[in-house]
Amino acid sequence: MRVLLTGGAGYIGAHTAVALIEAGHDVIIVDDLSGTSAEAVARIETITGAAVPLLVADVRDEAAVAGFVAEHAPVDAVIHLAGLKAVGESMAEPVRYYDVNLGTTIALLKVMDTAGIRSLVFSSSATVYGTPEQLPLTEESPTGIDLANPYGKTKRIIEEILSDAAAADPGLAVVSLRYFNPVGAHTSGLIGEDPNGIPNNLMPFVSRVAIGSLEQVAVFGDDYDTPDGTGLRDYIHVSDLAAGHVAALEHAASGYAVYNLGTGEPVSVLDLIAAFERASGRSIPQVIVARRPGDVAASYADPAKAQRELGWTADLSIDDACRDYWNWQTQNPDGYPRG
């Protein structure tokens, strides 16, 4: 298949591009490069030996995206990863988040309709579950209730839009993938997570402390009802996550389907820090601070549906993820070159 990746130069997108090419598919990418660099696409080409056409554009620019799709026709499927993703930023800029995240999706559906593209895999999030009522989370767990931030709300609304679109068009095959916590990097060290400024997520923050660019890790709360008092999360290696996209694409059938992509193995904040210390061989200073508003004690997946229906499992451990992230960090201490 030839697959259009929106946001394909980003962290998850770059790894998904590699996985698709290695599975025998062709990839074309649309990305506005607001959170990444064209260097990521060059490195995808280095890893795979394949040419990967890149359109630098906002996915909301229907004319530009439609022209790119027509230029590379036929395009068989879309994996939609473009969008804004910082929870804290979404609280400060909710209108921008609704505009970008919903706008890219609606524009993309219009382009797909015009081009006759009938298959879509969407990058959703476990944030749609809100505060878990019961663990582990299954695809039948309640969603859309008590969502703490606009980021999670946009993901939930997009899921509704896609479900309605699939219901209205029996020929449309749509899959929403609810990610848990992506971590790690490609084993080559050529592609990885490259956050602008101070990272929002735990592993890149820990890595910056290990390499010396940040002073210490703030652990938000040690009084949760968990084995060591710190929050439990389901950390999935980004390469496993990428493989999940390939599986979803290759198994997509008419209608709308949802899958959790996680390991099902909860890891605490302190466990992750300890694993990163093992991987880096460095001591990582940490300080316990107050809980953050909106954080839950634990969130982790039941990934059985993806295993059963897609033949997919997460095979890599938190130690694998820390090893690969440290390899990326040491090879690219300043991330991708910008400019």
Structure tokens at 255: 């209608």
CA pseudo-torsion sign 88, 93, 98, 103:
negative
Position 147 pLDDT exceeds 70:
yes
**Could you give the 3-state DSSP secondary structure of residue 138?**
coil
Which helix or strand (DSSP H or E) is residue 114 part of?
Answer: helix 94-115
Residues 206-255: tens digit of each pLDDT: 999 999 999 999 999 999 999 999 999 999 999 999 999 999 999 999 99
CA distance 332 to 334: 5
> Is 151 noted as a catalytic residue in this protein?
yes
Burial class of residue 216, CB neighbours in 10 A (0-12, 13-18, 19+): exposed
Count the Cβ atoms, other than its own, within 10 Å of residue 281: 8
Place of tokens 């703030």: 218
In this structure, are strands 77-80 and 2-6 parallel, antiparallel, or unpaired?
parallel
Structure tokens at 236: 């999935």
Residues 78-134: tens digit of each pLDDT: 999 999 998 888 989 999 999 999 999 999 999 999 999 999 999 999 999 988 989
CA distance 223 to 4: 45
CA distance 275 to 101: 34
Residues 20-76: tens digit of each pLDDT: 999 999 999 999 999 899 999 999 999 999 999 999 999 999 999 999 999 999 999
CA pseudo-torsion sign 286, 290, 294, 296:
positive
Q: What percent of the chain has pLDDT over 70?
A: 100
Residues 255-296: tens digit of each pLDDT: 999 999 999 999 999 999 999 999 999 999 999 999 987 788
What pLDDT sits at residue 317? Answer: 98
What pLDDT sits at residue 339? Answer: 58
Average of per-residue pLDDT values in the chain:
96
What pLDDT sits at residue 199? Answer: 87
Question: Residue 198 — very low, low, confident or very high, per pLDDT cuts 50/70/90?
Answer: confident
CA distance 87 to 202: 13
Closest C-alpha among 22, 21, 23, 41 to residue 31: 41
The residue annotated as part of the active site, out of 11, 129, 151, 336, is 151
Structure tokens at 77: 């499927």
For the question of whether the overall pTM of this predicted structure is more than 0.85, the answer is: yes
